[in-house]
Chain A
């Protein structure tokens, strides 16, 4: 079966003061219909850049796609006109942002904002009203939140409203970029589970972006680990958690708070992610890796270990 969405060797750079900052350096991924795909990695590794590039929203004043393809529905989205691309955004591929308060206009009632999102894609207002009301049920919100202004709702409730906004036009793909990260831990889990149930109910395919690997263990069928704009490891969720092949993934998993013994000491990976203007030669993770050896001066290729489980390491 061919994938619903395929990203091929995508390279994206930002430009600052004449310098080119490579934020994505050849990312490939495949999203199949009905799949829940997780993308993780420390902050600054390029997750949001990837989401923006898929939607064709890298601001041309700040950067641009250098090469690669984003294939959806047999079309390369990167080649579409901005008018055609608007027919994709919010209609075929929707995105939920991190900060629910930021993603709504503070001075307009939620009802009008939701309605407008349906109308821009050619819905009749009656049809949109009906859709909103059924979606509010689906995300377990009372109908009267329509009459509210954004600041009158809690973060968790408002994030559910953004889910309604994202689903109004019955998209095929839903991208959630750190959509739970600003919320309480318990609410994070609830929203994540809600997204999973909506995925089943509306036959969605999900790209779930988070730096929180714990959540992905619940959410994702396949997980992609990004580091400094590169894919370091990718594989089925169970396999990746049980047998992480890359020292970076191992480090991330070791650094997770242990659910069974709360209060135990955290072991973060020493050092920090390199910024795009200081990408190391050879293996990008080399300066922080405790297994480093001679060969790491050369860039490792992406290798397949167990079936469907890839990693980029000489070990």
Chain B
């Protein structure tokens, strides 16, 4: 399963990064005489209401989705991991403060928070990345903290204490390497969910703005033609989202089975 997911991901990266060489039509090029064409050999996924090639738009939309996924997870990692390390390692008031913040963030329905923020800011790809990143760190912080608490009790940490290692050195040498596995797992799953969130936002018109393509806004265009036998407007972008999110989840779960058989990275 994980291998299948991985192959799919590699393929997606490949295709997304080589989009200009693969696409035979510009994703922006309109051709009104050719609108709403079903898939043919020149337009293998058909055309949309403005006669643009859906295949090209999906390729370019994939770049957007993957970029949003990775950038927002990177932001979440930059915030979530240090906070989790600090909370778990230093404990005390700092821990209490950080964990209260995490609790508040977690019980707040994230999608509404994102919607609120995006409606105040301008809806564009950068804001989408930031908002997804800024709202998805709390679960990471929680995993990392739990992992730190577990590692901290292990005898080799005490041994390092007895050998006169400083707290910071212990953190960097002994604790950090031992939390990388759950972090990688969570991050992989996080990319999948960020891709999904981006699609939802773009679908709602709060993410990537047309004419820039994104899977969500391609899908949104198709919505207006539901019931008119223009199935290609819906099927292909939906499949792209589905396959991508599935692939990240499969790889994430596969990594979990390999790196973390005790399930310590599991949602708690």
Contact = CB atoms under 8 A, between A and B. Distances in A.
A87 B34 CA distance: 79
| Secondary structure call for the B interface | helix
A95 B166 contact: no
Given A116-B173, A120-B169, A104 B159 contact: yes
Interface in A257-278: none
Nearest to B163: A90
Nearest to A105: B156
Nearest to B161: A57
Interface of A: 55, 57, 86-91, 94-95, 97, 99, 102-108, 116-117, 120-121, 162, 165-166
A165 B161 CA distance: 13
Given A86-B166, A90-B162, A117-B163, 14 more contacts: A86-B165, A87-B164, A89-B161, A97-B155, A97-B159, A102-B154, A102-B155, A103-B158, A104-B159, A106-B156, A107-B178, A108-B173, A162-B159, A165-B163
Name the interface size band of chain B: 10 to 19
Contacts of A90: 162-165
Contacts of B177: 105, 107-108
Contacts of A107: 177-178
B156 A104 contact: yes
Contacts of A166: 163
Given A105-B174, A108-B177, A120-B169, A57 B156 contact: no
Interface string B170-212: 0001100110000000000000000000000000000000000
Which of the listed residues B158, B159, B169, B177 has the most CB atoms from chain A within 10 Å of its own CB?
Answer: B159
Contact of A120 (B154, B159, B166, B178): B166
B159 A89 contact: no
A116 B166 CA distance: 12
A212 B165 CA distance: 31
Contacts of B154: 102
Contact of B164 (A91, A97, A99): A91
Would you list the 3 A-B pairs with minimal beta carbon distance, nearest first? Answer: A102-B155, A90-B163, A90-B164
Nearest to A101: B155
B158 A97 contact: yes
A116 B162 CA distance: 13
Interface string B140-166: 000000000000001110110111111
Interface of B: 154-156, 158-159, 161-166, 169, 173-174, 177-178
B164 A120 contact: yes
A86 B166 CA distance: 7
Contacts of A108: 173, 177
A89 B173 contact: no
A89 B156 contact: no
A87 B164 CA distance: 7
B164 A103 contact: no
Contacts of A106: 156
Contacts of B159: 97, 102-104, 162
B93 to A, nearest CB: 14
B26 to A, nearest CB: 50
B163 A102 contact: no
Contact of B165 (A57, A97, A99, A120): A120
Given A97-B155, A120-B169, A89 B163 contact: yes
Contacts of B165: 86, 90, 116-117, 120
A306 B178 CA distance: 55
Contacts of B173: 105, 108, 116
Which of the listed residues A55, A99, A103, A165 has the most CB atoms from chain B within 10 Å of its own CB?
Answer: A103
Given A102-B156, A104-B156, A97 B162 contact: yes
Contacts of A103: 155-156, 158-159
B173 to A, nearest CB: 6
Contacts of B169: 116, 120
A86 B156 CA distance: 16
Nearest to A121: B164
B161 A99 contact: no
Contact of A57 (B162, B166, B174, B178): B162
Contacts of B158: 57, 97, 103
Nearest to B167: A82
Which of the listed residues B154, B155, B156, B166 has the most CB atoms from chain A within 10 Å of its own CB?
Answer: B156
A288 B185 CA distance: 56
25 contacts: A57-B158, A57-B162, A86-B165, A86-B166, A89-B164, A90-B162, A90-B164, A91-B164, A94-B162, A94-B163, A95-B162, A97-B158, A97-B159, A97-B162, A102-B154, A105-B173, A105-B177, A105-B178, A108-B177, A116-B165, A116-B173, A117-B163, A120-B163, A120-B165, A120-B166
B183 to A, nearest CB: 15
B170 to A, nearest CB: 10
B199 to A, nearest CB: 38
Given A97-B155, A104-B156, A88 B174 contact: no
A256 to B, nearest CB: 29
A121 B166 CA distance: 10
B44 to A, nearest CB: 48
